[in-house]
Amino acid sequence: MGRRVVVLAVVLLQVGFVARAYWSDHKEFGFQMFPESSTWRADVVRVTADGRRIPVEVPWSGYRWEELVRDRGLSYPQFRHHADAGLDNQLAFLDAALDWVAGNTPRDRETRYLEARVTAWHNADRPQVRVLRSRVREGAG
């Protein structure tokens, strides 16, 4: 009885994960290998309280973007990259990275939020432009 439950649970979970991968950004346990040839690039800027838009390639308050965001192909967003696990996955990571940087740069007292203007090429489709924003930082400026 116990074995039966464990085996059926694992099988159902696996089937569920495979199905869920068709709508989930990160597709955990969905095993969709090399799903897309999509590429992307982004202009990521810090928007300060006085309205300036400063590219994150310029170090600020002792921070460097590529040191804050090392993983998932996000270190140099200004260059066009392959979206390894698909565009949705890549842009979900970029979106989360903007929030993480906004929330983990305490020496920065001027940035209100970070913004990424993303150009994305889904496979052979025409490029699409999307804007992602971090949460607004309290007390900036």
Q: Is 62 in the site for another protein (CB under 8 A)?
A: no
Element (H, E) at 117: strand 111-121
Q: How far is the CB of 50 from another protein (least distance, A)?
A: 26
Nearest-angstrom CA–CA distance, 69 and 78: 13
Q: How far is the CB of 122 from another protein (least distance, A)?
A: 8
Residue of the chain from 20, 26, 41, 130 that contacts another protein (CB under 8 A): 26
DSSP 8-class letter at 95: H
For another protein, the binding residues in 102-141 under the rule CB under 8 A are 123-124
Residues in the interface with another protein (CB under 8 A) total: 39
Closer residue to another protein (CB): 34 or 50: 34
The pair phi, psi for residue 80, each rounded to 5°, is -70, 130
Q: Is 11 in the site for another protein (CB under 8 A)?
A: yes
Report, in angstroms and rounded to the nearest whole number, the Rg of the chain calculated over CA atoms: 19
Nearest-angstrom CA–CA distance, 98 and 43: 12
Two tokens, residue 48? 């300060």
Q: Is 21 in the site for another protein (CB under 8 A)?
A: yes
The pair phi, psi for residue 25, each rounded to 5°, is -65, -45
Torsion over CA: 21, 69, 39, 134 (sign): positive
- Per-residue string for binding with another protein, 63-102, x by CB under 8 A? ----xxxxxx-x-------x----------x--xx--xx-
Binding site residues, another protein, CB under 8 A: 1, 3-4, 6-7, 10-11, 14-15, 18, 21-22, 26, 28-37, 39, 67-72, 74, 82, 93, 96-97, 100-101, 123-124
